[in-house]
Homo-oligomer: A and B are copies of this chain.
């Protein structure tokens, strides 16, 4: 997918149609997995952008949504650590950025959710009695989550190594 330039060089093409296709398709997958629509679209657009960072106006234009919608989507994404915001020095413009290793961040963040599940389960074991069938079931569930939490930490460490090796 390249575009002849006449001067012998070629630059990678960025057909808006192609970009949009990817954005909408990938966003749809994210939506199916539970992400709200606008945050999903904004995130996909950032992923597919050249610099990995876009302004509110650019997102608004590219996705054909109101500035308000961009604002809401970005607030959501920032809250779950899927984008970071950076202010452009000497301008009131803000850029929203994805890091290539954002998923690492986002996954790490899920830890908080797990913790709350674990707390609820511990309360349940205490309330129902560790010696009851239900209590034992809850305890086993709790053990699984604790196991996963521990394993994920190791997994992320291994990814950091592999990432460094493959992508610098």
With the chains together, A137 CA to B52 CA distance in Å?
8
With the chains together, A21 CA to B126 CA distance in Å?
12
With the chains together, A69 CA to B107 CA distance in Å?
32
Cβ–Cβ < 8 Å partners of A163 in chain B: 140, 143-144
B48 touches A128 (CB 8 A): yes
Oligomer: number of copies? 2
Cβ–Cβ < 8 Å partners of A126 in chain B: 1
B25 touches A120 (CB 8 A): yes
Cβ–Cβ < 8 Å partners of A19 in chain B: 127-128
A167 touches B138 (CB 8 A): no
If A100-B137, A140-B167, A155-B151 touch, whether A123 touches B12 (CB-CB below 8 Å) is: no
